């Protein structure tokens, strides 16, 4: 199993179980995101703790998840980035676009906070 999904409250955590998130696994990751979205899950955490490498196709898959959540009023957070993956995200300047936390616990807290703000009608950009 290359990916696993854990549902907690209104948050789906998708955990990557491959060392290289590349063209071999990116289509499967995109399919996981689409399946979650089709199930109405728009708050997602992508845990990349086990991924030691990511290429452009892996980043493309990550952006699909981000877009699905954003376009449907949800939250998308990356967590557990290894140094090499974090560097690629910084070089590609995606750290300006993506929500990133060190741990899955912090990612969950961020998603819950954003969901609470949405339910209260607060606009986080005005804070």
Q: Are 33 and 68 in contact (CB under 8 A)?
A: yes
Residue 38 counted as domain residue: yes
| Buried/exposed 54-90: b ≥16 CB within 10 Å, e otherwise | beebbbebbbbbbebbeeeebbbbbbbbbeebbebbe
Residue 114 counted as domain residue: no
CATH number at residue 13: 3.30.750.24
Residue 121 counted as domain residue: no
Residue 36 counted as domain residue: yes
**Is pLDDT at 67 greater than 50 in this prediction?**
yes
Confidence of residue 122 (pLDDT cuts 50, 70, 90): low
Residue 54 counted as domain residue: yes
Lowest mean pLDDT among 51-60, 87-96, 117-126: 117-126
Alpha-carbon distance 125 to 71, whole Å? 17
**Is pLDDT at 127 greater than 70 in this prediction?**
no
**Is pLDDT at 72 greater than 70 in this prediction?**
yes
Residue 19 counted as domain residue: yes
Q: Where are the alpha helices (DSSP H) in 1-127?
A: 26-38, 56-71, 83-91, 104-119
pLDDT value, residue 123: 59
Residue 59 counted as domain residue: yes
Q: What is the mean pLDDT of the chain?
A: 94
Question: Average pLDDT for residues 24-34, to the nearest whole number?
Answer: 97
Please give the tally of structural domains in the chain. 1
Question: Average pLDDT for residues 22-43, to the nearest whole number?
Answer: 97
Alpha-carbon distance 91 to 5, whole Å? 28
Domain that holds residue 80: 3-105
pTM score over 0.85: yes
**Is pLDDT at 125 greater than 80 in this prediction?**
no
Residue 97 counted as domain residue: yes
Alpha-carbon distance 115 to 99, whole Å? 14
């Amino acid at each position: 199993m290359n990916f696993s999904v854990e549902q907690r409250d209104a948050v789906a955590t998708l955990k990557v179980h491959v060392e290289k998130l590349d063209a071999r696994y990116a289509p499967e990751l995109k399919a996981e995101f689409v399946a979650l979205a089709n199930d109405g899950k728009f708050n997602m955490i992508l845990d990349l703790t086990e991924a030691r490498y990511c290429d452009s196709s892996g980043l493309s898959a990550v952006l699909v998840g981000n877009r699905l959540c954003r376009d449907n009023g949800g939250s998308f957070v990356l967590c557990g980035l290894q140094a090499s993956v974090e560097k690629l995200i910084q070089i590609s300047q995606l750290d300006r676009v993506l929500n990133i936390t060190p741990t899955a616990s912090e990612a969950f807290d961020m998603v819950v906070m954003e969901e609470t703000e949405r339910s209260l009608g607060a606009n986080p950009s005005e804070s």
